[in-house]
Chain A
Amino acid sequence: MILADGPATAVAEVGAATGVAQFAWLLVALPAFGAAVLLLGGRRTNAWGHLLGCLTVIAAFGYGLVLFLDSTGLPSAERVRELHLFSWIPVEALQVDFGLRLDPLSLVFVLLITGVGAAIHVYSIGYMAGDADRRKFFAYLNLFVAAMLVLVLGNSFVTLYLGWEGVGLASYLLIAFWHHRPEAATAAKKAFVMNRVGDVGLAIAIFMMFRTLGTTQYTEVFARAGEFSSGELLAITLLLLLGACGKSGQFPLQAWLPDAMAGPTPVSALIHAATMVTAGVYLVARANPLYDLSPDGRLVVTAIGAFTLLIGCVIGCAYDDFKKVLAYSTVSQIGYMILAVGLGSFGYALGIMHLLTHGFFKAGLFLGAGSVMHGMNDEGDIRRMGGLWRHMPITFVTWGLGYLALVGFPGLSGFFSKDAIIEAAFGQEGWRGWVFGGAALLGAGLTAFYMTRLLLMVFFGEKRWERLKSADGRDYHPHESPAVMTVPMILLAVGSVGAGVFLASGDRLATWLTPSLGALDKAEHGVLPHALVPVLTVALSALGALVAWLVVGRRPVPVERPRRVSLPVRAARADLYGNALNEALVARPGVWLSRALVYVDNKGVDGLVNGLAALLGGTSGRLRRLQTGFVRSYALSMLGGSVLVIAALMVVRFA
């Protein structure tokens, strides 16, 4: 590896933030200020609210760039810096400081969040131009950026949790932004519930760290990670993974993410493709010293990643909704990242690299989808599109570049980042190499299939929309979007093309991240020769694209969805029964529990009284008399509780 003088693990020396970095809190404060002004200012800010919203994020991006450059000027051993702001929760042994951690990892995220965030803010000016609540939309977007920055900049797990809940709230508000659509409200609720399941895991992991170490600051937790017993480590790593699964839409909590596409498209691009959903990857990468010590935990991470990437691909093949296909594509790409970070020192940096390139091209793809839908009366069904490339050339070119990047066309960014992950997966020993490498390789082929299918159905072929009318009875008049929308798309397309080669050449990113993640190891020998993997990947992708062309490109696409389809397609259309699984595992027991409790609360005690009375008296008169007062049954439940309490005390004492 390149870094010879640095420590081998991520527990680098932590310096104090000085100079320009002293004001790092501005990163969070700027968008938070924007959100506060827009929310509290009310209608007065309608006229200029969107401009303020963009300005704060662009300013934060500028300042983030300054910080980044400042940091590159330091020797790599001094790049991990902390900024103590104030002591947040001081009680006895429990000391939680509110501080920021500026290290290569967090700075990379700052640039991604503010950079992609700024592009999407600008795009939203055009996209939301007709919406009466545009100001509120920008307020929520600003809120999201602030919370996301807290998440990545915090220097303890508790601060991370603060940001974690914050982005959850912002995401919830934004999914439900068009709340007059019932599916939006339902989707928001679903996202919230599934995220809560993940949050519980994260919260319990934090408490466990606290119990053993008495602290949750990264520096101390990582330095003293050896004090955990191996059982505790496994539990903590799995609970953190549960949190990551909730936020990042990984199996078994993946079902909320596609539904979340009911929100406005810029939200899908910013939150549900580029930034928030990658928080799970960030969490695992950030906690790398813990995962390093728990190979079993990492194995589960890898397995979840591999499984999710496959189901994401399979379901993506079956959908006809533009954004839902992209959403399942996101699920599957994050699966790649999770798989990568599960590989430990072989993969942390690769996961982050794929996260960055994916941030560019997936945001671009979503903005392109938004642009298409914008020009098509908000139509999302790809069966009603076709031949659009002539009508929206800029959208077509930028989307096409994003497409090529995603399927891993040689030279574009997806090629470098995804290929590296597949290679690293094959680099594992024994069955792991075959299973995980095989899954990743198969995923690449399937990705090429469903993305090509999407491309062909939207931009090529017959103009099926000419014979149709949109749901509100208008003709379709596809047209190119205004410059305020196309310019961000062009910028992101440039990123999709160039980011990969820039980050991968000379292991630039991996070297940069070494102080945070440790050095990137390269597998010496795996189950397949190194040179063979890229060839296989490209070949399989080409095959996938060819099959897609054979299926949808060569013959006319029916406007109606075919009903009679084979079993696998039916399963994929049903999200591979992910919802049914969640329903059976979580929702139904919950409903039963609450029904049962309500029953006991309303009826049980009375029922007991009535039953008792019937048993004793047997006459209807007495029954009626005993039924008159509820106070009696309340008192009886108190009495019952007291008897139980006392009996339990006696049992504990004398048993």
Chain B
Amino acid sequence: MSALSVTVSHTVSQAVSGGVADAVSGAPWAVLAQGSVPAPEVDYGAIGAMLVVFAGACLGVLVEAFFPRHVRWSSQVVLSLLTIGAAGVTFGWYVGRSTDPVTTLSGTIAIDRPTLFLWGTLLALALGAVLLIADRSVEPGGSFVGHTAVARGGVREGVGDGAAPGGMRTEIFPLTLFALGGMMVFCAANDLLTMFVALEVLSLPLYLMCGLARRRRLLSQEAAVKYFLLGAFASAFFLYGLALLYGYASSVKLSAIAEATAGNDRSDTLLYVGLGLLVVGLLFKGSVGPFHTWTPDVYQGAPTPVTAFMAACTKVAAFGGIVRVLNVAFKASSWEWRGVLWAVAIVSMVVGAVLGLTQTDIKRMIAYSSVAHAGFLLVGSIALTEQGRSGTLFYLLAYGFTTLAAFGVISLVRAGDGEATHLSQWAGLAKRSPLTALVFTFLLLALAGIPLTSGFVGKFVVFTAAVEDGMAPLVVVAVLASAVAAFFYLRVVVLMYFSEPASDGPTVTVPGVFTTVAITLGVLVTLLLGVYPAVALDWAGPGLAFAP
């Protein structure tokens, strides 16, 4: 037994106190002060999808507890897919009925158009990620450890690359669902306290999931510890910022902070120090530059399906939160912080694009690419116009699917000792497996933002929004950075097509149904959004207002 169970139990209770029982946490100080507390209105229809995900996660814990080992994998896969499916149905049913902005649970959760767009994105991406996680055909027995920890002094402790034996640890499924639920709350949170709880609910399972790789155990565990330590550090920033903002506005509600910033009779020091700390906590989650340092190590060390989940879904949740906080709470003070976030965006784009050039590990390279993309996303996020919002949301959707499929492909290219992530091993891949090389080339072109892929449309809408909002110099830097970044994507294409394959090069595994479906999904969406983005842009389009 290990920290696994601890975190599970912790997460469960966090989820309950955070997501389901927000009625209590929303206004705890009011409880003691008054004689009677009216029960908050709960719009069960609106938060249905979120409740289904948490319920599925809890059921997953019970399955772990009471089902015998040999049926756990199949029941967890079925349960997870059913849960996401049911959440999707609930979500679709609600969207079909109404998309008017509502707040519920004492105003702690806002279900408005951005929330709905992000929830749809998250559910679809999570479906793909769960499929990747569930796959057992690529790595026999699945990508995750059979036993949670390496025995002390055991043979394998020192052997970095040996495969740990045994079946796969199926706790990964409820953990994924908890993280997904946390992300959904995070996007919808309308006050900072709920947001903080959601941040923890989504982070804790992720820390754990990073450490579960079957191969390269030490790298994986190191990644988990690093992510945990730095994540805790960032959470502390967020929490401290929250406290200062509460001191400033006497409320943690985003709308109340917005009202307070509109007046000018309060301490600006509290506001700006609080805002700075809060934003740092958020930027950390979105792996925006100079707060990106964890990203390469963690992306590299984590099991690839988990990396896919983190890269796609965490980015969506983090930027969903950033966009909401900036638009709802700090719009009035945007003059003061915008310059600072300009600088942050530039740092992120430059660091991501330039350092990506020198990487030799493909997962690290995609990690730096994600830092650059975070910079582009930040460019859209600080354009506080409707166009900026819809551009950012579209970018998140596009980037999520592309990067999910990219990690899916990475998991297929394997050498004797697991995944072949060193770039030199990818040389001449097109000769061994033309289809894999073609698919990966397409995804890289999408990441580079070549037209007819979703990446181009995403960059285009984000940059135009920024130009419209008077940030032309920033867009110039962004265009330059994306030109540089295109170079290192291209390097991989060159390597795959124009280099002689190494004699002991990797083999490309024929993926099973799950991985095939996930990659196909990602590629098709990338193509569709490039050729006919209207489908998603309509959704992210007019009337994209936040709930008050």
Do A's and B's CB atoms come within 8 Å in the complex?
yes
Give every chain B residue within 8 A of A207 (Cβ-Cβ).
463-464, 467, 472, 475, 479
Q: How far is A635 from B472 in the complex, measured between Cα atoms in Å?
A: 33
Give every chain A residue within 8 A of B457 (Cβ-Cβ).
88-89
Closest to B290 in A: A641
Q: How far is A317 from B484 in the complex, measured between Cα atoms in Å?
A: 35
The answer to whether B276 touches A91 (Cβ under 8 A) is no
Give every chain A residue within 8 A of B450 (Cβ-Cβ).
165, 169
The answer to whether B340 touches A634 (Cβ under 8 A) is no
Give every chain A residue within 8 A of B534 (Cβ-Cβ).
86-90
Q: Which of B225, B279, B480, B497 contacts A179 (CB 8 A)?
A: B497
The answer to whether A197 touches B494 (Cβ under 8 A) is no
Closest to A646 in B: B276
Give every chain B residue within 8 A of A630 (Cβ-Cβ).
226, 297
Q: Which of B339, B391, B465, B498 contacts A176 (CB 8 A)?
A: B498
0/1 per residue, B276-288, Cβ < 8 Å to A? 1101100010000
List of 3 A-B pairs having minimum Cβ-Cβ separation, nearest first: A179-B498, A641-B290, A646-B276
The answer to whether A597 touches B354 (Cβ under 8 A) is yes
What total of A-B pairs shows CB separation below 8 Å?
A: 177
* Segment from A280-288, A370-378, A451-459, A647-655 that makes contact with B: A647-655
For window 619-654 of A, CB contacts with B under 8 Å fall at 630-631, 633-635, 637-638, 640-642, 644-646, 648-650, 652-654
Q: B394 within 8 Å of A by Cβ?
A: yes
Q: A555 within 8 Å of B by Cβ?
A: no
Give every chain B residue within 8 A of A523 (Cβ-Cβ).
none
0/1 per residue, B366-388, Cβ < 8 Å to A? 00000000000000000001110
The answer to whether B358 touches A649 (Cβ under 8 A) is no
**Given that A91-B394, A207-B475 are known contacts, is A653 also in contact with B487, CB under 8 Å in the complex?**
no
Q: B343 within 8 Å of A by Cβ?
A: yes
Q: How far is A231 from B279 in the complex, measured between Cα atoms in Å?
A: 37
Q: A92-B387, A630-B297 are in contact. List 17 more A-B contacts (CB 8 A).
A: A88-B532, A91-B461, A91-B465, A91-B537, A92-B390, A94-B468, A158-B460, A166-B451, A172-B490, A180-B500, A192-B487, A199-B483, A594-B358, A631-B229, A633-B293, A641-B280, A645-B344
Q: How far is A42 from B386 in the complex, measured between Cα atoms in Å?
A: 45
Give every chain A residue within 8 A of B451 (Cβ-Cβ).
161-162, 165-166
The answer to whether A210 touches B538 (Cβ under 8 A) is no
10 contacts between A and B (CB under 8 A): A42-B434, A90-B534, A179-B499, A590-B484, A597-B351, A633-B293, A638-B230, A645-B340, A645-B344, A649-B275
The answer to whether B269 touches A203 (Cβ under 8 A) is no
Q: B417 within 8 Å of A by Cβ?
A: no
For window 426-449 of A, CB contacts with B under 8 Å fall at none
Q: B31 within 8 Å of A by Cβ?
A: no
Q: Which of B336, B340, B468 contacts A93 (CB 8 A)?
A: B468
Q: How far is A92 from B538 in the complex, measured between Cα atoms in Å?
A: 9
For window 465-502 of B, CB contacts with A under 8 Å fall at 465, 467-468, 472, 475-476, 479-480, 483-484, 486-487, 490, 494, 497-500
0/1 per residue, A594-606, Cβ < 8 Å to B? 1001100100000
Give every chain A residue within 8 A of B225 (Cβ-Cβ).
631
**Given that A203-B479, A631-B226, A637-B290 are known contacts, is A211 also in contact with B494, CB under 8 Å in the complex?**
no
Q: B337 within 8 Å of A by Cβ?
A: yes
**Given that A165-B451, A635-B229 are known contacts, is A645 also in contact with B537, CB under 8 Å in the complex?**
no
Q: How far is A188 from B490 in the complex, measured between Cα atoms in Å?
A: 11
Q: How far is A377 from B273 in the complex, measured between Cα atoms in Å?
A: 73
0/1 per residue, A198-220, Cβ < 8 Å to B? 01100110011011001000000
Q: B268 within 8 Å of A by Cβ?
A: yes
Give every chain B residue within 8 A of A87 (Cβ-Cβ).
534
Chain A nearest CB: distance from B342 CB in Å? 10
Give every chain B residue within 8 A of A652 (Cβ-Cβ).
336-337, 339-340
**Given that A208-B472, A635-B229 are known contacts, is A196 also in contact with B487, CB under 8 Å in the complex?**
yes
Give every chain B residue within 8 A of A644 (Cβ-Cβ).
290
Give every chain B residue within 8 A of A299 (Cβ-Cβ).
none
The answer to whether B494 touches A204 (Cβ under 8 A) is no
The answer to whether B276 touches A94 (Cβ under 8 A) is no
Q: B294 within 8 Å of A by Cβ?
A: yes
0/1 per residue, B433-467, Cβ < 8 Å to A? 01000100000010000111000110011011101
Q: How far is A374 from B464 in the complex, measured between Cα atoms in Å?
A: 50
Q: How far is A650 from B267 in the complex, measured between Cα atoms in Å?
A: 12
Q: A193 within 8 Å of B by Cβ?
A: yes
The answer to whether A185 touches B498 (Cβ under 8 A) is yes
Give every chain B residue within 8 A of A197 (Cβ-Cβ).
483
Q: How far is A268 from B423 in the complex, measured between Cα atoms in Å?
A: 31
The answer to whether A200 touches B354 (Cβ under 8 A) is no
The answer to whether B336 touches A91 (Cβ under 8 A) is no
Q: B533 within 8 Å of A by Cβ?
A: yes
Q: B117 within 8 Å of A by Cβ?
A: no
Q: Which of A199, A594, A635, A645 contacts B276 (CB 8 A)?
A: A645
The answer to whether B230 touches A185 (Cβ under 8 A) is no
The answer to whether A210 touches B272 (Cβ under 8 A) is no
Give every chain A residue within 8 A of B277 (Cβ-Cβ).
642, 646
The answer to whether B540 touches A91 (Cβ under 8 A) is yes
A-side interface mostly: helix
Tally of A interface residues using CB under 8 Å: 63
**Which of A188, A211, A640 has the most B CB atoms < 10 Å from its CB?**
A211
Q: How far is A452 from B96 in the complex, measured between Cα atoms in Å?
A: 75
Q: How far is A401 from B276 in the complex, measured between Cα atoms in Å?
A: 72
Q: How far is A153 from B445 in the complex, measured between Cα atoms in Å?
A: 23
Q: How far is A590 from B480 in the complex, measured between Cα atoms in Å?
A: 12
Closest to A87 in B: B534
The answer to whether A90 touches B541 (Cβ under 8 A) is yes
Chain B nearest CB: distance from A596 CB in Å? 9
Q: A134 within 8 Å of B by Cβ?
A: no
The answer to whether B483 touches A196 (Cβ under 8 A) is yes
Chain B nearest CB: distance from A574 CB in Å? 26
Chain A nearest CB: distance from B173 CB in Å? 29
For window 380-431 of B, CB contacts with A under 8 Å fall at 385-387, 390-391, 394
Chain B nearest CB: distance from A159 CB in Å? 9
For window 499-551 of A, CB contacts with B under 8 Å fall at none
Q: How far is A601 from B364 in the complex, measured between Cα atoms in Å?
A: 14
Q: Which of A90, A189, A204 contacts B537 (CB 8 A)?
A: A90
The answer to whether B293 touches A637 (Cβ under 8 A) is yes
**Which of A158, A172, A641 has the most B CB atoms < 10 Å from its CB?**
A641
Q: How far is A650 from B339 in the complex, measured between Cα atoms in Å?
A: 12
Q: How far is A635 from B451 in the complex, measured between Cα atoms in Å?
A: 38
Q: How far is A7 from B371 in the complex, measured between Cα atoms in Å?
A: 52
Q: A593 within 8 Å of B by Cβ?
A: yes
**Given that A593-B354, A649-B275 are known contacts, is A88 also in contact with B340, CB under 8 Å in the complex?**
no
Q: A487 within 8 Å of B by Cβ?
A: no
The answer to whether A635 touches B357 (Cβ under 8 A) is no
The answer to whether B351 touches A646 (Cβ under 8 A) is no
For window 165-191 of A, CB contacts with B under 8 Å fall at 165-166, 169, 172, 176, 179-180, 185, 188-189
Q: A14 within 8 Å of B by Cβ?
A: no
For window 78-103 of A, CB contacts with B under 8 Å fall at 86-94, 96
Chain A nearest CB: distance from B82 CB in Å? 35
Q: A552 within 8 Å of B by Cβ?
A: no
Give every chain B residue within 8 A of A654 (Cβ-Cβ).
268
The answer to whether A598 touches B355 (Cβ under 8 A) is yes
Q: Which of A42, A94, A649 contacts B461 (CB 8 A)?
A: A94
Q: B92 within 8 Å of A by Cβ?
A: no
**Given that A92-B541, A92-B542, A210-B464 are known contacts, is A653 also in contact with B358, CB under 8 Å in the complex?**
no
**Given that A94-B461, A645-B280, A646-B272 are known contacts, is A601 also in contact with B290, CB under 8 Å in the complex?**
no
For window 584-617 of A, CB contacts with B under 8 Å fall at 590, 593-594, 597-598, 601
The answer to whether B279 touches A645 (Cβ under 8 A) is yes
Chain A nearest CB: distance from B222 CB in Å? 9
Chain B nearest CB: distance from A115 CB in Å? 26
Q: How far is A179 from B465 in the complex, measured between Cα atoms in Å?
A: 41
Chain A nearest CB: distance from B212 CB in Å? 20
Q: Which of B273, B476, B498, B500 contacts A646 (CB 8 A)?
A: B273
